[in-house]
Amino acid sequence: METVLVLDFGAQYSQLIARRVRECRVYSELIPYDTPVDDIAARKPKGLILSGGPTSVYADDALSIDPRIFELDIPVLGICYGMQLMTHALGGTVTKTGNSEFGKTELRLSREGILFDDLPERQTCWMSHRDSVTDPPAGFEPTGSTDSSPVAVMENPGRRLFGIQCHPEVVHTPHGTDILKNFLFNACDCSPTWTVVSIIEDSVAAIREQVGDHKVICGLSGGVDSSTAALLVYRAVGDNLTCIFVDHGLLRMNEAEQVIDAFENHFRVPLVHVRTQEKFLTLLSGVTEPEQKRKIIGEQFIRIFEAEAQRLEDTRFLVQGTLYSDVIESGTRDAARIKSHHNVGGLPVDMDLELVEPLRNIFKDEVRNVAAELGLPDNMVWRQPFPGPGLAIRIIGEVTQERLEILRKADFILQEEVRRAGLYRKLWQSFCVLPAIRSVGVMGDSRTYAYPIVIRAVTSEDAMTADWARLPYELLETVSNRIINEVDGVNRVALDISSKPPSTIEWE
């Protein structure tokens, strides 16, 4: 399979580059920046992309690159820090000009080139840098500039080496995908063969190779991720798969019933329903720190799976719907941890089961496409993301039965009204948060002291960045009135209008 490798120099959104490449139907993987050159060459990639990074090439702790990578006769594209690193390694000049560029910037092309073939001479792009290339390496031609970057684009067609200061992977660079396509198809001579069918075929083959004839259990939540992972494994191993649905009491209203109905009656996948609400509430009693909540829930999940696996002969594998964004946010060697996802950073080190994670290297939009191809109904394919720890991390403070019931009812009202307004598919997520504080209110001429509910709704393409959704005032008014009137224990509704970054989508 044709592959373009992205070398990760520690930018939080390096994986977006790989995602954009895949959107062009070319398979791409993110690998550590210091992967040995011989290992890279052995994989025979069609192209290499050097990601951005958070530092300067002159910093004491700057991430470096082996210059031999530029002698492999493989097309290389350096983006932002990657371009500066290429310049520095090949004898050009990177300068601290004192003129930083952040955000939307006008790029002006000065001559024809491969990267911007058939694109406008003036266009908007997204910059995020302090240093600039002021003198390209020998053999490179500068083909574009901005007010603060005299060399914003550079090319050496003979060696098939390219550099670009802006970020083509972000949506704020309107022609970013076109730039990547020019690199992929004109410089690397790739073919657009990475499709949903190929994802399924490769996943099924990999599962069979890993699992063999052994029994497998799947941690099923009912969301699109775990459901897709379960169906991929079921296609690979049939009834050697048993799905385990842990009803931990932290789900949304009626969600447990929907999961049972879908997998027992519709897909007819072997399913074990474990009711363990009291156990989770006991373990979470008195716990307020978000990371501790995640780790408690993650470990208890695994312990339940291990106990169920002992009842099944020859069970060695546990399926999880881990996505690539889960891995990145839980922290990689070269990117900071944002939060530990329960199926990544929350797993116990002494786990007895070997993981099967067929979705670990694909993105949410790819998962939905695979789910549709596998026949999942639309209401499951397009179900908004829901965290593994469930409502436990939407209660800011200690998790109690009372707070769970309040939050469940409030969230049900929000979802009902969002669907009624025709906005459910347009939002990445919409949900309620219950901070464990109380505020004064007045109802029926009497003083109240009750919880607030915070509405959180965001738009996003990949969960790595998100903007708060501009919900209609009429919808907000209806939701607020219904929650306060119908949910005992609530006397105030607020709206979260922060984006990611600097916030995250979930509160914990």
Enumerate residues 6+ apart whose C-beta is below 8 A from 351.
302, 306, 318
CA gyration radius, the chain: 25
Among residues 2, 24, 80, 188, the one annotated as catalytic is 80
Q: CB of 153 within 8 A of CB of 163?
A: yes
Please say if 190 is a catalytic residue: no
Please say if 167 is a catalytic residue: yes
Q: What is the mean pLDDT of residues 28-42?
A: 93
Please say if 266 is a catalytic residue: no
* Phi, psi torsion values for 377, nearest 5 degrees: -65, 155
Q: Which pLDDT tens digit goes with each residue over 135-171? A: 999 999 999 998 888 999 999 999 999 999 999 998 8
Q: Which pLDDT tens digit goes with each residue over 77-107? A: 999 999 999 999 999 998 887 677 777 888 9
CA 107 to CA 109: how far, in whole Å? 7
Domains contained in the chain, CATH given: 3-187 (3.40.50.880), 196-381 (3.40.50.620), 394-495 (3.30.300.10)
Q: Which pLDDT tens digit goes with each residue over 218-261? A: 988 878 898 999 999 999 999 999 998 888 999 999 888 888 88
Nearest to 384 by CA among 265, 225, 196, 219: 225
Angle between helices 224-237 and 196-211 (to 10 degrees): 60
Write out 184-196 in H/E/C secondary structure. Answer: HHHHCCCCCCCCH
- Beta carbons within 10 angstroms of residue 293's beta carbon: 23
Among residues 88, 129, 167, 341, the one annotated as catalytic is 167
pLDDT beyond 80 at 63: yes
Structure tokens of 159?
A: 């060696």
Q: CB of 238 within 8 A of CB of 381?
A: no
Q: What percent of the chain is modeled with pLDDT above 70?
A: 94
Among residues 2, 101, 155, 169, the one annotated as catalytic is 169
Judged by average pLDDT, the poorest of 228-232, 311-315, 467-471 is 311-315
In DSSP notation, 37-91 reads: HHHHHHH--SEEEE---SS-TTSTT-----GGGGGSS--EEEETHHHHHHHHHTT
Judged by average pLDDT, the poorest of 65-69, 182-186, 296-300, 496-500 is 296-300
CA 205 to CA 473: how far, in whole Å? 50
